[in-house]
């Protein structure tokens, strides 16, 4: 069966069993290897991507369910050369230890920043609660999210100053 996926703004027509998890298609067919297979049970969040702007576990999302919907992965936020805001913040805070959970963490955090311009600590913690880091760098991850919020405010302030 042909499934058309819209990933990071680009359309892809794929010959695929519609019950295949989106994660497998992203990694194996589209070679977008940011999202990771962690638990396969929707319990860890390493596979988090956005579907129509909302964070979802791609390991439990049948690819047939997301045909024609907007999918965004960590690769859509920036590249190694031009990293996005959260990517820069995670790098600055050295939030990754082994790095396996980070793509999911960043996508989870991005969903919050898209919805809430200036989240408070409680909002950040409640929102990030579904994602796990087995190395235990949660405190650095939280710092990175806070840094991204501050950076964005700084960027906005700079833009506002400009004539």
Partner 1 sequence: MKRTRWAGRAMGRWAVAGALASLAGVGAFLGIAYRSDLPAVPTPKAADFPPELVSRGAALATIGDCIVCHTADGGVAYAGGRALATPFGTLYSTNITPDPEGGIGGWSKEAFKRAMRDGVSRDGRHLYPALPYDHYRRVHDGDLDAIYAFLMTRPTASAPAKANDLIFPLGFRPLLAGWKLLFLHQEEFTPRPDRDAEWNRGAYLAEGLGHCSGCHSPRNLAGAEETGDSAYSGGVAEGWVAPALNGSSPAAIPWMADSLFTYLRTGIDGRHGAAAGPMGPVVHGLSRAPEADVRAIATYIASLSADRPRAAPKTPSPPDRTAEAAKASPAGATLFAGACAGCHESGAPMMTQGRPGLSTVTALQLDRPDNAIRAILQGIHAPTGPAGPAMPPFAASLTDAQVADLAAYLRSRFSDRPAWTSLETAAATVRKEDSQP
Q: Which stretches of the chain bind partner 1, using CB under 8 A? A: 18-21, 40-43, 51-52, 54-57, 59-66, 122, 130
* Minimum CB distance to partner 1, residue 55 (Å): 6
| Cβ within 8 Å of residue 107, ≥6 positions away | 35, 48, 49, 50, 55, 72, 73, 74, 77
For partner 1, the closer of residues 85 and 111 by Cβ is 111
* Minimum CB distance to partner 1, residue 75 (Å): 19
Q: Where are the alpha helices (DSSP H) in the chain?
A: 22-24, 85-92, 102-115, 121-128, 138-161
Return d(Cα 89, Cα 92) in angstroms, integer: 5
Return d(Cα 46, Cα 106) in angstroms, integer: 10
* Minimum CB distance to partner 1, residue 158 (Å): 33
For partner 1, the closer of residues 20 and 88 by Cβ is 20
* Minimum CB distance to partner 1, residue 155 (Å): 28
For partner 1, the closer of residues 68 and 163 by Cβ is 68
């Amino acid at each position: 069966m042909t499934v058309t996926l819209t990933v990071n703004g680009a359309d892809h027509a794929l010959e695929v069993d519609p019950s295949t998890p989106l994660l497998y298609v992203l990694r194996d067919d589209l070679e977008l290897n940011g999202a990771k297979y962690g638990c396969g049970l929707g319990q860890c969040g390493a596979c988090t991507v956005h579907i129509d702007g909302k964070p979802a576990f791609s390991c439990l999302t049948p690819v047939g369910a997301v045909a024609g919907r907007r999918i965004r992965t960590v690769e859509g936020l920036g590249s190694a050369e031009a990293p996005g805001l959260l990517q820069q913040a995670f790098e600055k805070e050295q939030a990754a230890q082994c790095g396996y959970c980070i793509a999911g963490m960043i996508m989870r955090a991005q969903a919050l920043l898209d919805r809430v311009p200036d989240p408070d600590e409680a909002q950040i913690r409640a929102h990030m609660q579904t994602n796990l880091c087995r190395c235990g760098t949660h405190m650095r991850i939280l710092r990175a999210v806070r840094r991204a919020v501050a950076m964005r405010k700084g960027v906005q302030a700079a833009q506002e100053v400009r004539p």
